[in-house]
Amino acid sequence: MRASRASLTRALLALGLLSAAAISEGSDLGHPYFPLAVGNRWVYRCSIEGTPAAGRVLQVRQKVLQDGVPYYRTELRVGKNSAALVQYFSIGDDGSLRRSLSPEPAYAEVWLAADTARDTRQGDWISAGVQPLRVPALPGAKALRVETFPFDSPDLPADQRAAWRARYYVLGVGPVGEADGLGGRCDLVFYRLARPPARP
């Protein structure tokens, strides 16, 4: 069986063939739809039913090692004066992107699966496939939509439709937007990648 990147990293560390410093300074890991490198930054303009709301900024701040596995510490700020929400992203043995509030595998949840095809499970969410999406930073983008449940179902009750949420990702760019059933939206207006994303 072919070893995953995370498993190979742990094995090389155990054998002394790869130093922690080499990982800390070396090539970055990432999901095809979520590049991970210190310095990556995404800026969003948000609104509620067309009325401007507090914007958001997501940044990859630090790369840390836990048992030989790289975790990427991110900070999400809402508005200008808010405290940052700290989240850690890592790549699981199955190639999935995992999110946690601390660099611990036991607390990590699947954020994006390795397979993002339509109707596949993405942790507790589901993929709606790739579709055109217009955001200020990428007017002609095709984005992967991951949602809490299928929004397009004609049998969906109105009260459940209000609870719908979605996240959007563009290949090689990362998270480009969010939406909810109450008319809330966040759209990418600027992004900067510190280095080209790792190939899947």
pLDDT tens digits, 27-75: 567 899 999 999 999 999 999 998 999 999 999 999 999 988 999 999 9
Give the predicted TM-score (pTM) of the model: 0.83
Determine how β-strand 51-66 pairs with β-strand 41-48.
Answer: antiparallel
Determine how β-strand 165-170 pairs with β-strand 51-66.
Answer: unpaired
Question: Residues of the chain with pLDDT > 90: what percent?
Answer: 68
Residue 48 pairs in a beta bridge with 51, 184
pLDDT in tens, 121-162: 999 999 999 999 999 999 989 999 999 999 887 787 878 888
Q: Which distant-in-sequence residues (6+ apart) come within 8 Å of 35 by Cβ?
A: 28, 172, 173, 174, 193, 197, 198
From CA 33, how far away is CA 168, in angstroms rounded? Answer: 9
For the chain, list the domains and their CATH numbers. Answer: 5-192 (2.40.360)
Check if the beta carbon of residue 140 is closer than 8 Å to that of residue 146.
no
